[in-house]
Structure 1
Amino acid sequence: MKNQQHVQELSSEKTEFKREIGVFGGVSIIGGIMIGSGIFYLGSYVLQRTNYNIGLALLAWILGGVISLFAGLCYAELGAAMPKAGGRTVYLTEAYHPCVGFLAGFCDWLIGGPGSVAALAIALPTALKPVTGINDAGIKVFAIVLIVGLTVYNCYGVKLASILQNISMVAKLIPILLIMVVALFCGKVTPDISIGQQVATSGTTGTISMVAFAIVASLWAYEGWTNLNSVAEEVKNPKKDLPLAIIIAIGGITILYTLFNYAIYRVLPYETVVSMIEQGDFYLGTEVAKLIFGNVGSILVTTAMVIAMFGSINGLILAQPRTYYAMAVEGHFFKSFAKLHPKYKVPTAPLVVQAIISIILVLMRDLDQLTTLVVFSTMLFNCLTVLAVPILRKKMPEMPRPYKVWFYPVSVIIIVLIYIGLVISTFLDDPTSAIIGFIVPAIGIVFYLYFDKKKRQEGNRI
């Protein structure tokens, strides 16, 4: 009886939030965060890791998308069953222990969320530097104004934030699609996508290892699909809209990334591509735009990059504070974080604190080093979240699951193994960053013990 009551409580769609996000809004949140300036240069890293084999590079993009899609489907099952603000912090709490969910949220709160916001806020005016001539001090001022402005805007409700996200999503896709479509149909190069010669040279095992290494690079371009789950309580019909938005967004972006990179090879001769990368010029997409549209091409690329980063910042500011809110509601974080604005129904305190931390990170010098601290632990928590699917199916078999991940359990096993491989690969490639990556969760344990003790003391008084 107690278990049934718990299941009903978790599955309830009653919420203090305003349900303002539809399917397109969900797609815009995911796509707005995922599609950034990396679309113009990350293809170079993928190609480089496949020993400049175009066929294997395109395969890596497709497989990277498929991996992200199936991991996203695991989040879709969890999100549809437990449509709660906070996303994976809720799932990790239910599957393992409140401490595990707290640590995932704590890493996002201290470094992950604010670090990403700060990095993008700095990158946006930096992209305008050739046009505006803005200096380093001006870039930081611009970044701070941007963070403050978008935070204040998000404080006026999720509907306004979602509308801005929808507009920025469409606005950045226009120049990207224009460049891609014209390149596909007007390009005169027929790229060699055969992989036989590479397999003969490297062997089957060597080729698989090469593709796996390239997939890791492509996965960074797919980062961001987890954020919709953080605002599940603000999705109009989370049991239906959340899985649908995840499938459309990740599936559509996989097609976009693959076709965009193929379009590059339709315009740039193979020798030019190799020469550019070897000389350290990774912006193949930018070069394609310049060749097709001349000076207008540079404007198109700059416009797309600026809008893409703007949309990513807004999406992160919209989604991340809901995680901190969920931690507070669970009873293991600052009480003020558990309060919603009486009129606009947004977690105002988490929004403001995230902005303050982001501004502090903007003012610090080694921003890149700070943001890498959480990369290792993020992969660990994603792996644990995917593994939460079979754990919760066994632990809570009576929980209503309006959506279930495809090809279970094979798909879940494969995704978990891939994440384990990525964790091991990261540890071997950069053990220092991996070890330092544990510092933030270690600090988080101290915070958890403090809040847990406080929670128990308050419970005893009652």
Structure 2
Amino acid sequence: MRNSWIQKGRETNDGRKISERQSIEALSSGESEVKRTLSFGRAVGVMGGLIIGSGIFYTGSYVLDYSHGNAGVAILAWILGGLIVLGAAMCLSELGGIMPANGGTYVYLTRTYGKASPLLGFTMGWSDALIGIPGNAAIAMVGATYIGTLFGGFSSLQISFLASGICVVLTVLNLLGAKGGSIISTVLLFVKVIAILGVIIACFVLGQNTGDPITFTNTTGEGAVLPALACSVVAVLWCFDGWNSICHMGGELENPKKNLSRVMVVTIVGITVLYLLFNLGVMRIVPIEDIIASENVTYDVIGILFGKGAATVITIAIICSVIGSLNSCILVYPREIYAMSRDRRWFAACGKLSKKSGQPVAASLYILAMMIFYCFVTSFQNLVNIIVLYNGIYFMLAVFGVIVLRKKYPDLERPYKVPGYPVVPILV
């Protein structure tokens, strides 16, 4: 039973209809029309590179603001955010082990909910294709803005042109092959991790303990703990955006039934620890009210420790972080468009692969065109608001799909099972 069966709209090449169970089993065979060239290490690089963008460098200010300056609540929010994402990742790892194919969440939803699946797949796919995936232009705009700071600032039009140029260059590089694109993400991941670790070490080893003590006391205003914690966790979750990204490349991952869960768990646990230590380090050096008031607290920390001249170095590190995240997006997300096209829910041209590189060229070029369009017609904040709104709905449905498939097909081969089922999926 070949994977090409199922990528063509629930029917074989001779037009014979197949059941939902057969559809899942076809994908479960592990056969793929694309080459499985993505090793465990490069997969961690792609996923980590996509998640760690610019957010870690300034989101800590928002988290403390939402928590009314309560450092204890802020730290708890970073821990809870990591645990929520880890639980969700374990749920998608079970689905990915059953259906190790390109397309990720889109593929899982279109093969889980019976008669509702076509509608869910259609709405999610078109939402992603028109808004969600091209919305990654927001990352390019952040990168262009940071580059502008090195040259005294750019106008909005200059930022749009530069952001578009970044998208073009990264798309061309990734069209040469998934291996090359994943190497770029991995190299830039090392750069950003080294930069973050450098800040952490400097804060704990070189800096004086000039920040406020970590207590469960509001320092900037009154407010109940639970609402403050809830808002803080939402801000934290934005820093983990892209946690499901490697699922989109399930068809290119080496030994996906084993490696998918390992990649997701190792990456998310590592990033959670990194985020937690980074924020503890910053709070050790900078008072809480100063963190909340700062537009770039990382810049301020480096200024305190090494002087303002070192700000250029950290700005370059942030630019590498942003570009690395965007590169992973451009590498990963055309796979969803490709899967949609193979299921006849998007234009057929995007369902073809390059014979030379094995890459979904048409899907990548479509996303590039839309990203350039968004660079000129909207703002970073508008893109983020729209993406966050609908993403939560489909992630919730995907996680609940673990319970649905356990009930409908308890005998399916499950190389990985969610620990603590059904408590973990329900809590997530």
Tell me what 1:139 maps to.
Answer: 159
Out of 179, 184, 187, which is 1:164 matched to? 184
Instruction: Give the letter aligned to residue 291 of structure 1.
Output: I
Tell me what 2:214 maps to.
Answer: 193
Instruction: Give the letter aligned to residue 90 of structure 1.
Output: V
Instruction: Give the letter aligned to residue 131 of structure 1.
Output: L
Q: Distance in 2 between matches of 1:21 and 1:240?
A: 13
Higher helix share: 1
Tell me what 1:263 maps to.
Answer: 281
State the Cα RMSD in Å. 2.1
User: Percent identical across equivalent pairs?
Assistant: 36
1:401-440 alignment runs, 5 A limit: 401-415=414-428
Tell me what 2:10 maps to.
Answer: none
1:46-195 alignment runs, 5 A limit: 46-96=63-113, 97-116=117-136, 118-133=137-152, 134-189=154-209, 191-195=212-216
**CA-CA distance at 1:92 after TM superposition:** 0.6
Q: Distance in 1 between matches of 2:395 and 2:21?
A: 28
Q: Distance in 2 between matches of 1:44 and 1:305?
A: 16
Out of 198, 206, 209, which is 2:227 matched to? 209
1:234-249 alignment runs, 5 A limit: 234-249=252-267
Deviates more, 1:169-178 or 1:362-371: 362-371
**CA-CA distance at 1:164 after TM superposition:** 0.8
Say whether the 8 Å CA contact 1:4–1:398 is kept in structure 2. no
3-state DSSP class of the match of 2:30? coil
Q: 1:2 to 1:111 in 2, by over 3 A?
A: closer
Q: Distance in 2 between matches of 1:48 and 1:371?
A: 19
**CA-CA distance at 1:144 after TM superposition:** 1.7
Tell me what 1:454 maps to.
Answer: none
Q: Distance in 1 between matches of 2:162 and 2:133?
A: 19
- After superposition, give the CA deviation of every residue in 1:137-161 in whole Å (9 maximum; x if it has no partner): 3322222221111111111111111
Instruction: Give the letter aligned to residue 92 of structure 2.
Output: Y
Say whether the 8 Å CA contact 1:92–1:100 is kept in structure 2. yes
Q: 1:259 to 1:276 in 2, by over 3 A?
A: closer
Say whether the 8 Å CA contact 2:157–2:376 is kept in structure 1. no
Tell me what 1:33 maps to.
Answer: 50
* Structure 2 unaligned regions, length at least 5: 1-17
Tell me what 2:402 maps to.
Answer: 389
Say whether the 8 Å CA contact 1:69–1:250 is kept in structure 2. yes
Say whether the 8 Å CA contact 1:122–1:362 is kept in structure 2. yes
TM-score by length of 1: 0.83
**CA-CA distance at 1:282 after TM superposition:** 3.5
Q: Distance in 2 between matches of 1:192 and 1:11?
A: 52
TM-score by length of 2: 0.90
Q: Distance in 1 between matches of 2:66 and 2:380?
A: 26
Say whether the 8 Å CA contact 1:94–1:392 is kept in structure 2. no
**CA-CA distance at 1:366 after TM superposition:** 4.1
Tell me what 1:274 maps to.
Answer: 289
Q: 1:136 to 1:282 in 2, by over 3 A?
A: closer
How many residues matched?
Answer: 405
Instruction: Give the letter aligned to residue 215 of structure 2.
Output: S
**CA-CA distance at 1:368 after TM superposition:** 3.2
Say whether the 8 Å CA contact 1:76–1:243 is kept in structure 2. yes
